[in-house]
Amino acid sequence: MTHDTSETTPAVFTFPDTGQTVRTIMIDGAPWWVARDVLDILGLVNPTEALRGLDEDEFSTAEVIDSTGRRQPHAYIVTEPGLYSLILRSRKPQARAFKRWVTHEVLPQIRRTGAYAAPGAVPALPDLTEPAGVLALAEQFLSTARALVDADARVRELEPKAAAHDAYLSAHDSDRLIREVAKLFGIRETWLRGFLVDEGLIFARYAPCGHRSGTCTPTSARTSGQRKPSSATTSRGRAPTTHCGSPRAASTSSANGSSRPATSP
């Protein structure tokens, strides 16, 4: 599938840790990332292999403009979930810093204002002594106002869902299977499980701390009630998943600083 972005100018911003630039475009109110830029930062040298591991709805092609001003008619772009999948595959030291920068600085500002501005960046003020400058300023104001109205409407739309999610996740009298939490947030179980292992949130030593419990539950009717062990997260263990950077999460947070486990339970 190819998206028509002929009227869209990519937003270009610089990853401060390496000085490399990344281009994003907004499609239907959601940011898409130019895959080539992301792969360069993450050190993934085989684009075909990297994109093959994504779901079909996590990448597409679009016309974008490169650093020299030339048009690239069929450049690969990835969604926010696709971006996280690529980050998890990277073995580069800066991958973790890149994820934190994207989730803590870039995405929150895009969602608030519809665009990203590097810290300290001040937009150029049009020449107000000319009619064209006054018109340009009015257009900037109108564009910002529309973005704020859209963002506020989106927040109001998500508030009831967030409240329901919080009530579900904060229940103290029951555990939730990882697949249930993944379904609740609309993400893949394998992605969520990989994230939890990567962040050290499901690991045997966390069970005594109240993050995880081992339970035996019937896996299906076809097993005639046979009970098999399964991993479940408690309300304490589920709380960090609301900030894991998933496409449905309201906000994100960095890793808790614990060492990464070698294996998952």
Per-residue model confidence as pLDDT tens for the chain (265 residues): 555 544 456 788 788 999 998 888 888 888 899 999 999 999 998 888 889 889 999 999 988 877 677 788 888 999 999 999 999 888 888 888 999 998 888 888 777 665 555 554 445 666 777 777 778 778 878 888 888 888 888 788 877 777 766 666 566 555 667 787 777 777 888 888 888 887 776 654 444 445 445 444 444 444 455 444 455 555 555 455 444 444 444 333 433 444 444 444 4
Tokens of 142: 């109108």
Angle at Cα 98 formed by Cα 92 and Cα 99, nearest 5°?
A: 105
Question: What is the value of pTM for the model shown?
Answer: 0.42
Whether the Cβ atoms of residue 217 and residue 230 lie closer than 8 Å to each other:
yes
Query: What letter represents residue 247's amino acid?
Result: P
Where in the chain are the domains? 2-113, 125-169, 174-243
The domain defined by 2-113 folds into Mlu1-box Binding Protein; DNA-binding Domain (3.10.260)
